[in-house]
Structure 1
Amino acid sequence: MDILLNVLEDKKIHQEITISGSKSESNRLLILQKLFPEISIENLSDSDDSVHMQHALSTQDELVDIGHAGTAMRFLTSYFAVQENRETVLTGSERMQNRPIEILVNALKDLGANITYEAKEGYPPIRIIGKKLIKDKAQINGNVSSQYISSLLLIASKLEKGLEIELIGKITSVPYIKMTLSLLTQLGIDNKFEGNFITVYPKKSIHKQTVVVESDWSSASYFYSIIALSEIGSEIQLTAYKKESLQGDSCLAEIYNHFGVETTFNQNSITLKKIKRSNTSSLDIDLKNAPDIAQTIAVTCFAERISCNLTGLHTLKIKETDRLVALHDELTKLGASIKVSDESLHLEVSTKINANVSIKTYNDHRMAMAFAPLALRVPIQILDAEVVTKSYQKFWDDMHQLGIKIDNI
């Protein structure tokens, strides 16, 4: 499905939007719920990734296909490794079969796991023969995707002696590691994170409890961008959010101050209001703890004629697409002057936005959603727009609610 987004006639917005639960929290909790049936979950994400995760955890089939769901691939690798007497072939889409898994597989093998590659060495599909893991110490580089580390942490309390992980070198994506540990703490599973060592202690069972998933901050980023591009006085209320968030992307509230977006924290929601923007002409932001919002920020800067230097983006090259190359190519079509490296993006101030440009999405939900706010500036075409369901089922419905006209092309 390709769509055309037309410019809002009324740039002053007043709306209330309810956003599904965090995909990151939901997928962690779904694994933990399978290990500890005492857990009940509310406000679960309705994303494709979480749907794939639920199906994978409920099926008894040997072949488990998780499509484009990266978190499911990483988390399920460890989960199936400890399912004694079960053999599983874990696979995914063509892109997933070109996203590396070797670092996690090697760490699990060091713990005694039985995992082999079905095709290309170091990549899915993988064959996992579940067994009891006896060893309690693992090493993994600290600058890899935090999902590898969280995958190990999620099964750690079910190992006989628990697990101590040594993170080698510089540690990135710390908020996502802390999110996992905070959820363990919330469930009553003891752990500690000191220096480069993380320890999770064994736990046979937990008290019966209900966990309410906070709404997804990554999804909130698109509304921050929309308010940034709207008229002064515009407001959007988003539910359900809390000030003391486990999600690294909650740094949006501080970052978007530069764009004149004021965040007010209410009981179970946030209100985004457009106020007069400061005279910021250039931004320098290290996003190593929140790389998923890089696309949104880059597009906002382009639309607001602000130059930016975004760093800490090395993990974007192994996402649904190489997001840095994708951003370079699509922003260039719109008229941007942009340079990217393996871990950074530099955008110059642009004086013009080309209208009616077709934005390729590369099977990447965030490409579609990050570029959508440009409809407040020029008509824009989004190709393969249905890709948004990976993380945000009703995204286009919510865009329509804001007053953006959406036509199929």
Structure 2
Amino acid sequence: MNIILQKSTIKRKSVIQITGSKSESNRLLLLQALYPEFQIENVSNSDDSRLMMNALKSTSEIIDIHHAGTAMRFLTAFFAIQEGREIILTGSDRMKERPIKILVDALQALGAHIEYLENDGYPPLRITGQNLTQSKVSLQANVSSQYISALLLIASKLDNGLELTLEGDITSIPYIKMTLSLLDEIGVKSSFIDNVITIKKNEKKLKAKTLVVESDWSSASYFYSIVALSKEGTEITLSSYKENSLQGDSILADIYVHFGVTTIFSDHSVILKKESHILNPLVLNLQKAPDIAQTIAVTCFALGVSCDLTGLHTLKIKETDRLVALKTEIEKLGGQVTITNNSLQLSEGDTIKKMASIATYNDHRMAMAFAPLALKTELVIENAEVVSKSYPSFWQDLKSIGFKITQ
């Protein structure tokens, strides 16, 4: 389904309830499968979390997680320790192009039995669950944090726990710390000293408790962009958020000051307010929060501000090559973009072409990152339903604040 976003003006004040974080939800869903003693509230309503939940409950021999990259990584580790069960874990054509060898090698070093069914290093996988007795493994520290978190999530169920050594500079530390914090919340202790993470085997039943998932900061990023492109005095209130968030993307509150957006924390909500501001070129290393790169790049383009974004090497193995996709689509609209394997540079300019048709590449973040441009010009978003991967009610929420959207 393609949609037309007409040039829009949003309400001066709006309130939006955003669903639970996909990152937190998927971690807690896996932990709940290992430790049924605790309950979860405000679970993400995203496709990815729904697929994760269904896979964990499934009794089928073939489990298809479609485009859900987090689920592929986490479930590979989960099924590796399900003794006596053999499954085939597969996904979409794009998923079969996304590497998983680093995680499989680490699990095999711990004693897992995993085979590649098509191309070496890529899904689909045949996983025969068994008791893993080895406890020490090393990974390059600059790999996707999802590989690291997958190992940490199962660590307390391994016979001898886990000692994970990260070699080199660590990418996405906030996501690793999120995993360790959630383990701590349910009662699983860990240590993270220098580049070594240690988790002991859990010998006791955990205390029953209910954990409430914080709303998704990645989803909040699109509203930061909308406020940045809006008139002075515009306010959007988003819930439910914590000032001491576990999510790396909460750095948005600091980054968007650059665009004149002030963040006020109040009663589990954030109020985003546009204030007068002088715009300057943006230089930013997003190694710790790469998922908000698309939103920031489009915000800069819409405001005519140059940017130099680095730390983006993991974007090349997402739902699409996000760096190439950003360059292609921003240039359709009249921007000038240069990319490398880990960076994006956008030149300053104030020309935005009208009625460009934005391809989304089966990538939810492409659709949502470009949507705020409707405050500047009319545009088409192709395959707009892709937003359901992380934010199914996105288009309805935009309409509620004043966006004009037609099919």
1:110 Cα deviation from its structure 2 partner: 0.2
1:280 Cα deviation from its structure 2 partner: 3.0
- Separation in 2, partners of 1:304, 1:141: 38
Q: Which residue of 2 aligns with 1:295?
A: 294
Q: Is the 8 A contact 1:184 1:190 kept in 2?
A: yes
Asked if 1:376 is matched to 2:375, the reply is yes
- Structure 1: 5+ residue stretches without partners: none
Q: Deviations over 1:365-400 (max 9, x none)?
A: 000000000000000100000000000010000010
Asked if 1:129 is matched to 2:128, the reply is yes
1:301-320 correspondence to structure 2 within 5 Å: 301-320=300-319
- Separation in 2, partners of 1:240, 1:7: 29
- Separation in 2, partners of 1:13, 1:325: 35
Equivalent position SS for 1:306: coil
1:332-347 correspondence to structure 2 within 5 Å: 332-347=331-346
1:161 Cα deviation from its structure 2 partner: 1.5
- Separation in 2, partners of 1:151, 1:266: 34
1:224 Cα deviation from its structure 2 partner: 0.1
Q: Which residue of 2 aligns with 1:211?
A: 211
Asked if 1:2 is matched to 2:7, the reply is no
Q: Is the 8 A contact 1:13 1:230 kept in 2?
A: no
Q: Is the 8 A contact 1:12 1:232 kept in 2?
A: no
Equivalent position SS for 2:270: strand
Q: Deviations over 1:113-142 (max 9, x none)?
A: 000000000000000000000011111110
Q: Deviations over 1:269-290 (max 9, x none)?
A: 000000011x232010000000
Q: Which residue of 2 aligns with 1:157?
A: 156
Q: Is the 8 A contact 2:222 2:372 kept in 1?
A: yes
Amino acid at match of 1:254: D
- Separation in 2, partners of 1:269, 1:283: 27
Q: Which residue of 2 aligns with 1:233?
A: 233
- Separation in 1, partners of 2:130, 2:405: 51
Amino acid at match of 1:191: S
- Structure 2: 5+ residue stretches without partners: none
1:349 Cα deviation from its structure 2 partner: 0.7
1:137-286 correspondence to structure 2 within 5 Å: 137-204=136-203, 205-277=205-277, 279-286=278-285
TM-score normalised by L of structure 2: 0.99
Amino acid at match of 2:241: Y
Q: Is the 8 A contact 2:11 2:402 kept in 1?
A: no
Q: Which residue of 1 aligns with 2:349?
A: 350
- Separation in 1, partners of 2:340, 2:38: 43
1:12 Cα deviation from its structure 2 partner: 4.8
- Separation in 2, partners of 1:71, 1:123: 14
1:48 Cα deviation from its structure 2 partner: 0.1
- Separation in 2, partners of 1:324, 1:26: 27
- Separation in 1, partners of 2:373, 2:183: 39
Q: Deviations over 1:298-357 (max 9, x none)?
A: 000000111000000000000000000000000000000110110000001112100100
Equivalent position SS for 2:142: coil
Q: Is the 8 A contact 2:175 2:248 kept in 1?
A: yes
Equivalent position SS for 2:349: coil
Runs of 4 or more off by more than 6 Å in structure 1?
Answer: none
- Separation in 2, partners of 1:207, 1:138: 30
Q: Which residue of 1 aligns with 2:399?
A: 400
Q: Which residue of 2 aligns with 1:103?
A: 102
Amino acid at match of 2:318: K
Q: Deviations over 1:181-227 (max 9, x none)?
A: 00011111110111110011111321001000000000000000000
- Separation in 2, partners of 1:189, 1:242: 22
- Separation in 2, partners of 1:47, 1:350: 35
Amino acid at match of 1:68: H
- Separation in 2, partners of 1:13, 1:345: 33
Q: Deviations over 1:68-101 (max 9, x none)?
A: 0000000000000000000010000000000000
- Separation in 2, partners of 1:225, 1:270: 14
- Separation in 2, partners of 1:34, 1:42: 15
1:87-102 correspondence to structure 2 within 5 Å: 87-102=86-101
Q: Which residue of 2 aligns with 1:390?
A: 389
- Separation in 2, partners of 1:281, 1:269: 29
Q: Which residue of 1 aligns with 2:17?
A: 18
Q: Is the 8 A contact 2:10 2:403 kept in 1?
A: no
Q: Percent identity?
A: 59
Equivalent position SS for 2:157: coil
Amino acid at match of 1:151: A
TM-score normalised by L of structure 1: 0.99
Amino acid at match of 2:37: E
Q: Is the 8 A contact 1:12 1:231 kept in 2?
A: no
Amino acid at match of 1:210: T
- Separation in 2, partners of 1:12, 1:401: 9
Equivalent position SS for 1:211: strand
Q: Is the 8 A contact 2:15 2:237 kept in 1?
A: yes
Q: Is the 8 A contact 1:11 1:231 kept in 2?
A: no
Aligned CA-pair RMSD: 0.7
- Separation in 2, partners of 1:63, 1:121: 19
- Separation in 1, partners of 2:387, 2:82: 32
